Structure 1
Amino acid sequence: MAGEEEKPLRGIAEAFEGLAETARAKAPSSAMEVAPFARACAHVSVLFGCLGIAFKFAEMDYVSKVDDLLEASKSISTLQSMLDLDVEHNRVREAGSHTRNLLRVKRGLDMVKVLFEQILVSEGNSLRNAASIAYAEVFSPHHGWAIRKAVAAGMYALPTKSQLLKKLNEDEASAKNQMQNYITASAAVILYVEDLFTSRQLGLDW
């Protein structure tokens, strides 16, 4: 029987299902802790790596931001506390702030969610359309011309759907199930993070 480390898609889905329970609870006692959030996000890094050069920028940026949250979790207990500390010290929008990095990580989670949604409704073996839609919806509005051009060129080097599933050690039926599990769970987690920002009037477009 394959271990969890050999089934990264399952690991991603299960990690976010655990977070989603906290996100949906909406009770003061169920504040989301930084450590499990960051560990769950770290699972997603392998997927960016599997997508090749088109998302290399996203992989490098995402991994560094997740590493920052993992480090922050050693001294800050909850996401709420993390944002409030940055607000208190007027460093929310500073490069390298935990809050800024959380927003970037949120976009990574969002991109994967849209990518999975598109894969589930697309036919054929190409990932180009699904990946292009996910990039255009989530990342493109925040990128300059040079990055957008590089990503567009990299789309031609994406793995096929079957190659991606092989890298993830999944068959199509199992992959679809795990992707749907992630879509459902991550939607609750993404909304939870967005609410942290909007409730503090921090916005989401910076």
Structure 2
Amino acid sequence: MAAFPPGGTYFDNAKRSFTQVPVNKSKEDAISTTEFLEASESLTGLFDVLGSAAFRPVKSDIVGNITKVRNRQLEAPLESETLQDLCLNELKAKKHTATEGLIWLNRALDFTAQGIRHNLSHPTEELSTSFRDAYGNTLKPHHSFIVKPIFSAAMSATPYRKDFYPKLGDDQTRVQKELDEWLTALEERVKILNAFLGRKDVIKW
């Protein structure tokens, strides 16, 4: 985990927060691709804070899917300024690697958001319980019997909440405020993508 200045928080060192990911309300909630991928990369640092080697597969999965989306963006930048355009234009080209990658990336982001939100809403609940419930709601239904035990092991290896939140910053009032703002922005973008990626013209492949 990268250090932060006294009085600072984990979010001070993040390259991009989900609060900084533009959403164009006038264009059907179009989400800017570059900023979204940067925020997703920054999110993986939370798994380093969680500290267990068991979370490496979770982080690796997210990074791999970010790469799939970014490769498409680099291949066709003018058609990929927003995530929605990136997917629709890729599908027109009879491809779906990046679109599939975004589906899995969004599931992982949803898992992370639900786990942290549930934990914040239940102050006496341990992270392992919160993340296990989130896993059941998001990734687990789509995982094979080979992958499920790997991710289940990660849920059981989460630190105690009394150890986790102090790692995000010394000033817990500021930590809670910034974590909630980040989480609210993440949840909004996950919700937008869930609706888009569930469209018949997007999942037809």
Give me the TM-score of the superposition, normalised by structure 1.
Answer: 0.79
Q: Which residue of 2 aligns with 1:102?
A: 102
Deviation at 1:157, TM superposition (A): 2.2
DSSP-derived class of the 1:47 partner: helix
DSSP-derived class of the 1:90 partner: coil
The answer to which structure has the higher helix fraction is 1
Change (3 A) 1:150 1:68: closer
Q: Which residue of 2 aligns with 1:82?
A: 86
RMSD: 2.9
Q: Which residue of 1 aligns with 2:36?
A: 37
Q: Which residue of 2 aligns with 1:26?
A: 25
Higher relative contact order (CA 8 A, sep 6+): 1
Change (3 A) 1:90 1:70: closer
The answer for unaligned runs of 5 or more in structure 2 is none
Q: Which residue of 1 aligns with 2:10?
A: 8
Cα deviations by residue, 1:14-61 (Å, 9 ceiling, x for unpaired)? 721222xx43x4213974321111111111011123332443221111
Percent identity between matched residues is 19
Task: Tell me the amino acid that sits aligned with residue 81 of structure 2.
Answer: S
Deviation at 1:115, TM superposition (A): 1.1
Q: Does 1:169 pair with 2:188?
A: no
Q: How far apart, CA to CA, are the structure 2 residues paired with 1:42 and 1:36?
A: 10
Deviation at 1:113, TM superposition (A): 1.1
Count, aligned residues: 195
Give me the TM-score of the superposition, normalised by structure 2.
Answer: 0.79
Change (3 A) 1:102 1:189: same
Q: Which residue of 1 aligns with 2:129?
A: 129
Deviation at 1:130, TM superposition (A): 0.8
Q: Which residue of 1 aligns with 2:155?
A: 155
